[in-house]
Structure 1
């Protein structure tokens, strides 16, 4: 399956040496984003910071990019994306930045070029909300959080 779209990318000043996002395996859904920082940034336990990634992108109409955590950082260090997934709309043209948070116990160091998150491109379906007096009935009904047990 070769279902590709073109995403135009610009590097911001000072990020010329950093790699563009790329898929790290044949079946990968996400491309790694790297830290565009000039000196090491430390995240203490419970702390969050915005980390710039050195790129701006132009997505085609009808697409979005989602910024998601890297599983290895989460599993080994408790580092994740605070607003996961972060949404990048097709009309945004600013530098991509990632809000990282340290849920781990130890201080975590982020260095220039470290892979800090992943970017997943997806189609967007826009909905039209239509006011209704009633909704179709289902077996579940209004059963919400935990309605099927633990």
Structure 2
């Protein structure tokens, strides 16, 4: 079953590839930097990188912006608010908040693959306030409750 998502290329970005999967079974679509001039992220620095496109998704769908594993491994570049959420009612330009956790400055050039976009269905959830929650074996065990590693 295909879900149709509208994509609009912003003026001046005709040379920027639209998001695309790099293999037939990939979950994410690589997205590209639509910077006019290169951006250099110093170690510890973050920057908002334009992509040159906007989306229109049907209700019940979201786009998640996630890091590219190769950039994370090789350069320490990741998406700061991972995953970033693009809501179905947002119509502005998709931008990617990157941070340099590496030890060297990292240069972002026009058309560089900077992140990936994964579409997810979002259920319509209704919260119901109660006085007591059902019991489970785990109970209130939180961070690290199953061991030290």
Residue-pair matches, total: 148
Q: Which runs of 4+ in 1 moved over 6 A?
A: none
Give me the whole-angstrom Cα distance separating, in 2, the residues matched to 1:90 and 1:14: 24
Q: CA deviation at 1:126?
A: 2.3
Residue 102 of structure 1 corresponds to which residue in structure 2? 100
Pick from 117, 120, 127 the counterpart of residue 118 of structure 2.
Answer: 120
Residue 5 of structure 2 corresponds to which residue in structure 1? 7
TM-score by length of 1: 0.97
Structure 2 residues without counterparts, runs of 5 or longer: none
Pick from 35, 39, 60 the counterpart of residue 37 of structure 1.
Answer: 35
Root-mean-square deviation (Å): 0.7
Give me the whole-angstrom Cα distance separating, in 1, the residues matched to 2:137 and 2:14: 56
Give me the whole-angstrom Cα distance separating, in 1, the residues matched to 2:19 and 2:84: 16
Residue 109 of structure 2 corresponds to which residue in structure 1? 111
Give me the whole-angstrom Cα distance separating, in 2, the residues matched to 1:141 and 1:61: 34
Q: Does 1:20 align with 2:18?
A: yes
Residue 88 of structure 2 corresponds to which residue in structure 1? 90
Residue 140 of structure 2 corresponds to which residue in structure 1? 142
Structure 1 residues without counterparts, runs of 5 or longer: none
Residue 54 of structure 1 corresponds to which residue in structure 2? 52
Q: CA deviation at 1:142?
A: 0.6
Give me the whole-angstrom Cα distance separating, in 2, the residues matched to 1:7 and 1:127: 22
Between stretches 50-59 and 124-133, larger displacement belongs to 124-133
